[in-house]
Amino acid sequence: MPKKRRTLVERAESIFEFILAKGEPFPKSRLQAIGFNPSTAESWVRLIEYIQSQPTIKVTRMGSSTYIEQIENRYLAMLRKRIHDSSLSIKERSSTLDDYISALVTLERAEMGRIKK
């Protein structure tokens, strides 16, 4: 009987489960242990990096409808990236975190003002 192909979600889940289980940096070639050849592993890693660098979205499912909402703008995404940048000092990252929260509150207040009108 032929082996059942994994869905895209199952593939992504297996990558993240593997990363969490390792707990430390490892060469991409180790993804062969979960069925990814080097070129497929490279494609998945590049896709994950790209998605993680994008503004955060919220997905809401209501019955048969799915709504996608952007909850972060590019400025917030850039700040989030700086918060995770280990090459910056803790002081710089902390200051960026403060900026992120302020920008998020401002964005949410503007959205609430728009909704009330």
Strand partners, 59: 68
Token pair recorded at residue 77: 């995404």
| Within-domain flag for 29 | yes
Helix (H) or strand (E) holding 85: none
Indicate whether 76 and 117 sit together in one domain. yes
Number of domains comprising the chain: 2
| Within-domain flag for 63 | no
In terms of residue numbers, what domain contains 102? 72-117
CA angle 48, 50, 87 (to 5 degrees): 95
| Within-domain flag for 20 | yes
pTM score above 0.75: no
| Cβ-contact 29, 38 below 8 angstroms | yes
| Within-domain flag for 23 | yes
Determine the pLDDT at residue 59: 95
Indicate whether 82 and 111 sit together in one domain. yes
User: How does pLDDT run along the chain (117 residues), one tens digit per residue?
Assistant: 567 889 999 999 999 999 999 989 999 999 999 999 999 999 999 999 999 888 889 999 999 999 998 888 889 989 999 999 999 999 999 999 999 999 989 988 888 877 766
| Within-domain flag for 62 | no
CA angle 70, 73, 75 (to 5 degrees): 165
Q: What are phi and psi of 106, to 5 degrees?
A: -60, -45
Q: How far is CA 111 from CA 55, 87, 105, in A?
A: 17, 34, 10
| Within-domain flag for 57 | no
Indicate whether 76 and 44 sit together in one domain. no
